[in-house]
Amino acid sequence: MIYRDILREIGKRLGDPDLKRFRGVVSQSFVDSMCSILSKEEDYNDVEIPDLIKEVDHTLVFENSQYMVSLPSLAGSGSVIRLVDVFQRPSENFTSSLTLKEIPREDYKRMALEVSFRPTSEEVFYFRRGNNIYFVSGEIADDESSTTVVFQFIENPNPDDWANSVNLVTELNYSRNFIYRVINETISNISNQPLASK
């Protein structure tokens, strides 16, 4: 499915096959609908959107057992819809691997007072506040010069990537079911706008 054919399909279902009435809103509404579906974390599986799933290796350099990463700085577009996972790539050297664990921010606050809430020597805890991810390391990660982790996230879709005759299903591997869910959501959104009732 080529992007312009998707837009025509939306127009056809809205009774505007030549996109004379909806030309100005259909493309942006399609992207908005896709972002809305992606942010809900339901009605789709990550394998349906491989073009938007990004994995970025990033080196954590701990200072005083702490480190902070701005999530948008990792994305090529600077825009992230959702963080999927933070992990270490499998390694044959199990002695240097650490245990990454997401914690609530409240646990981080309690670390100063209660030793039991601090990471053990082989653990690295992290929590998210807005667009920033904060890491707190145990002894081993602190002693090593650097620790590399992988950030897996869903990047904001860019319709410029779909220009010309790029096929979203066969070339970018979006699932056909996902594309049709976005089409249906787009039609619903446009139908509810005042322009559609004229």
Digit-coded pLDDT (tens) for 75-121: 888 889 989 999 988 875 555 567 889 999 999 889 888 888 888 88
Average pLDDT over residues 61-86: 89
| 44, 37 contact by CB (below 8 A) | yes
144: pLDDT strictly greater than 60? yes
Task: Find the angle CA(155)-CA(43)-CA(50) to the nearest 5 degrees.
Answer: 35
Rounded to 5 degrees, what are φ and ψ at 125? -95, 150
Rounded to 5 degrees, what are φ and ψ at 92? -75, -20
pTM: 0.81
Residue-level pLDDT at 31:
93
Rounded to 5 degrees, what are φ and ψ at 175? -75, 145
Task: Find the angle CA(100)-CA(102)-CA(108) to the nearest 5 degrees.
Answer: 110
Average pLDDT over residues 33-41: 90
Share of the chain above pLDDT 90, in %: 51
CB burial class (10 A; 0-12, 13-18, 19+) of residue 63? Answer: exposed
Average the pLDDT over each of 7-16, 18-27, 138-147, 184-193 and give the range with the smallest value.
138-147
